[in-house]
Amino acid sequence: MNQGSSLSVDEPKDIMVSQNGMFCAGFYAVGENAYSFAIWFSEPNHQTKILTLVWMANREQPVNGKGSKLHLLHNGNLILRDTDESHVWSTNTVALSSVHLILLNTGNLVLQGNGVTLWQSFDYPTDTLLPQQVFNRHSKLVCSRSETNKSSGFYTLYFDNDNILRILYDGPEVSSIFWPDPWLTDWQAKRAGYNNSKVAVLNTLGNFSSSDDFNFMTSDYGDAMMQRRLRLDSDGNIRTYSRKQSGQNWCISWQAKSRPCRIQGVCGVNSLCSYYSNSVKCACLPGYKMKNQQDWAYGCEPEFSLSCNKTQLRFLVITNVELYGYDYGIMTNYTLEQCKDLCLQLCNCKGIQFTYVKDGTGIPGTYTCYPKMQLRNAYRIPYFNADLHLKLPLNSTYTYTESMDDKYKLACSSNPKTVTLATSYTKFHEGRDKRNESISWVKEIMDPNIEEGYDENEVEALAEVALQCVEEEKDKRPTMSHVVEVLHKISRENDNQESTST
């Protein structure tokens, strides 16, 4: 694209294509009669339904679908004008010599003059990083509001003042950093802030390297011919996507959070996050209703009003619920009744989380009370050893009967012989009081070829410790001495059974 020329939204053929044919740049419809100038991965036969955007110029201010143009002026400025000739976006560049705009094979849109780069899209990313695109102290990735709404969302990836790469959740009501886990020191998170550089890059082989010592390799690392992209998705998770060639579906080759429910704000306030069909499922807590029927980011609001009179209140138990943050305090060596009584005395207390905390050193743990002043970041996980006691009016009839096995199960495979261990484990605990339970959860996870050649109690013990070992937070994982102790206990019980039978 040379000086004095323009691209028009009215002309579908006004598209720039990289020399290798991998990328296109032009006007992209982001809504009804709303267009942004964007860069995307090209698709065969000019398919437009599945375009993968990697950059947008006017993300927050789309232009009209009639009469809007991108101009490369004679003074070297690249400018986007709406149908009324108003200036929507520009590079703010000036050149005395001739300049031209080119879309490189890397997906970088570059404005050059006399071999000098005056401006490039790689310096102003939206939600995506491409291979060889340098992410620095001036860079930010801001997610989209949703897959269909391309305006800026609530999550931002950036280098903080301490030189650490972080994700910030800046929601409708609260903001907080949640990655790396805020309760970890930089050392525990394997980050190094003691450097004077802020640089990160994803290379063509699938290796991501950052100056704060955060590094990862994609699952398909080593193939330089793969098409790759790193994106901060609308749910707040960083993922890398790969595919062999245009026209194919994208595959996730790495992600920062393996459990999306642990991303702050994913379901909003007063809600409960669970897993369903390889994605998250949001639901309002009992007694609460959705604030915005179109957007879970705003969470839920109460259908009731709470009295400060403790005789007019009750608690509803929801098992296996984790809630992060917004505690009145951390009360150790509390009984459940003491914990409830404390919450009843606090008018603004919304409920309590009560759990048995082990210190991991072999010393007996303590029962700990967490009075919650706000109900945020709640998610249900079958093997988490804590319960939420939700504060409700005494005369209310709210209940919690949703089954994790039904609505919130993980759909990990279409193979009927493949069973999710966590789901089966939940079945057992939800049905442990049913004395006439005819189907054993253990039988569901065992290889049918083994038939009856195992002890169900042993399998249950092994499954429980296995689930604890894959906890995302290292402090919640058992120590190796505890694992060995469990194995020794099973072994001793086997020896005793054999000696008894002998």
Q: What is the pLDDT of residues 433-460, one digit of tens each?
A: 443 343 455 666 666 555 555 677 777 7
Please tell me the pTM assigned to this model.
0.77
Cα–Cα distance between 15 and 7 in angstroms, integer?
8
Cα-Cα-Cα-Cα torsion 6, 10, 12, 17, nearest 10 degrees, comes to 20
**Residue 498 DSSP SS3:** helix
Distance, CA of 446 to CA of 459 (rounded, Å): 9
Peptide bond into 180 cis (omega under 30): yes
Choosing among 3.30.465.10, 2.90.10.10, 2.30.30.90, 3.40.50.1820, the CATH entry for 5-260 is 2.90.10.10
Dihedral Cα 158, 161, 163, 166, nearest 10 deg = -40
Q: What is the pLDDT of residues 162-177, one digit of tens each?
A: 999 999 999 999 999 9
The predicted pLDDT at position 502 comes to: 47
Determine phi and psi for 501, rounding to 5 degrees.
-65, -30
Q: What span, in angstroms and rounded, lies between the C-alpha atoms of 369 and 254?
A: 36
User: For the residues of 267-326, what is the DSSP string, one character each?
Assistant: S-TTEEEEEETTEEEEEEPTTEEES-TT-GGG-EEESS---S-GGGEEEEEEESEEE-S-
- Counting as low any pLDDT under 70, the low residues of the chain are 46-49, 277-278, 359-363, 402-454, 472-476, 491-502
Which residues of 312-385 form beta strands (DSSP E)?
Answer: 313-319, 321-323, 331-332, 351-357, 366-372, 378-380
Q: What does the pLDDT read at residue 63?
A: 96
What pLDDT is recorded for position 439?
Answer: 41
Round to whole Å and give the CA distance between 391 and 343: 8
CA–CA dist 13, 7 (Å, integer): 9
Q: Cα–Cα distance between 411 and 409 in angstroms, integer?
A: 6
Paired residues of 353 in beta bridges? 370, 388
- pLDDT of res. 27: 95
Domain boundaries for CATH 2.90.10.10 within the chain: 5-260
| CA dist., res. 343 & res. 306, Å (int) | 12
* Cα separation, 131 vs 213, whole angstroms: 18
Kind and range of the H or E run holding 487: helix 480-501
Q: Which two tokens stand for residue 235?
A: 């749910």
Q: Is 162 within 8 Å of 180 (Cβ atoms)?
A: no
* pLDDT computed for residue 420 by the predictor: 47
